Chain A
Amino acid sequence: MPGLTQGFALSEQNENVLSPRQMALRRFVSHKAAVVSCIIIGVLTLFVILAPFTARYGVNQSVQAPPNSFLSPRSNAWLGTDDIGRDLYSRLIYGVRVSLLIGLASAIISVTLGALVGAVAGFRGGKFDDILMRVTDLFLAFPFLVTLLVVRNVLGGLPWLKPITGEMNSVRFIIVLFSIFGWMGVARIVRGQVLSLKEREFVEAARAVGASRRYIIVRHLLPNSIGPIMVALTFSVVGAIISESTLAFFGYGPQAGDGATSLGILVGAAKGAVQTGFWWLAVFPCFVLIIIALSINFIGDALRDATDPRLDRGA
């Protein structure tokens, strides 16, 4: 019977024809977890943008006069306080703000870079392509944290890079570092996409009417790879947020200058809280990180299903 119903669905769709974009949207909406994730991320973003109103205290403000350290959750500190009496709930909002900024900024930079490099490599082929793939293979084969730490130090050790990277424990440095890492995975995906696209007729047609290489890449190849690029973008955001937390967890993250914080710094503080039994310091930051990672991953997953027509699950 599934054949029959599918036939019905097809004929129905033929009557009111959907554009590819509408079809993609319909497929995306049918992924329930992704829709919920979108709402969660939306609410979170709103909270973070409106930080001056949603946070109850300043980043560095203590909730009450001492004794105020390690208070368990209560009415004047919903999620408890940390070692010097600051409100965890407010700090989480400020921390997520910095983390989302790091995630978005480094994802956008690395995806732009990766898409361009991948498109050029896939389109031109040859030596450039070979070298590029070798280098990415090498980088991706290494344990991630090791490469991250070593490259971080190399970046910090090159004085002529200072104007771009800033201080080694600044947020800017972290963004530059993640951009340098992130583009490789994206470049690979886009390259694969371009390799198959460039054999198609419309590219041949463009070439036949004398379009330049640059024109073909910018007007034909990149727009047609927008699906995988969008998917890569979402996964890069999660990747950067988790990497930042990992770095901060091991003490190599951005430093809390002027009491600014990040999700990584808060999660890092959880390490010390485990043994002493201040469970709220461990549970809440970890929980927020898990929620963010899961939601964005679900969105990316749904985007992948939605933009890849071959994967039509008939839903």
Chain B
Amino acid sequence: MTTFFPGKRGTAPRAAQRGVEESSLAKWTLIGIALVFCVGFLLLPLLNVFAQALAKGGAHYWRSLTEPDSRAAIRLTLMVAAICVPLNVLFGLAAAWAIAKFEFRGKPFLVTLIDLPFSVSPVVAGLMLVVLLGQQGFFGEWLAAHEIKIIFAVPGLVLATVFITFPFVARELIPVMQAAGTEQEEAALTLGASGWQTFWHVTLPSVKWGLIYGVILCNARAMGEFGAVSVVSGHIAGLTETMPLRVQALYEGATTATTAAAFAVASLLALLALLTLGVKSALEWRQARAERIAASGAGQR
């Protein structure tokens, strides 16, 4: 540009500099606010959880996590998440596919339905299940006659968690799928790919990040859900207590030992959450690196 407008050489950088100064003030203010917020409301409480957990020493921490009821709670939480996440992945993919790629009557209604668990209080969601499936509930007699126990048992926990985590995958996928459109899939079809091949090689990779993010959010919520699960659980230590319920039970023990144990279990929950975030970051980093290598490799040849 300087070769074409040599006369402007002197003025252009100064104007640019002022622009940078103004925006940098705004930039640092915003960064500052975000940082204070993150430290004050996220990092400090998190650190506090770990500090409290380790207040009675490492041995007590370890014992708190390995005592039978806590171990049962950890196992149950992981199991519930392991059932809920795949179910909601299947459901989320199907729902997002239907909404993003097809036009049909009642589509807005379906979208609203998917959002329902977000708008309904988890406690209400739990009560809904009790009313339907509990002993005095709508299907109660029939279930009792067939000796199927749902409420105050593991199936109830799974149902409540599935209901609560229902929107996470679908909500993440719908915008990504809509943005991707249908052209890539049609291109695959014209190249001879079957519907399944198209889904596997084209659709799924193009929504990969949305799906991973949805799974992470779904998983975090499935492990952390308290309200709905609390209503249907019955709080039987060692049988129907998930980790969040265990934390509460221990905390209500109200001795210093149980409080420390409550924080120990809570810290493990937090660790699981951090782990899932770590997995996501690692995947993103690997993807970015693969693309960088591809770009530089292509440039050299």
Partners in one complex: no
**Chain A residues engaging chain B, CB cutoff 8 angstroms:** none
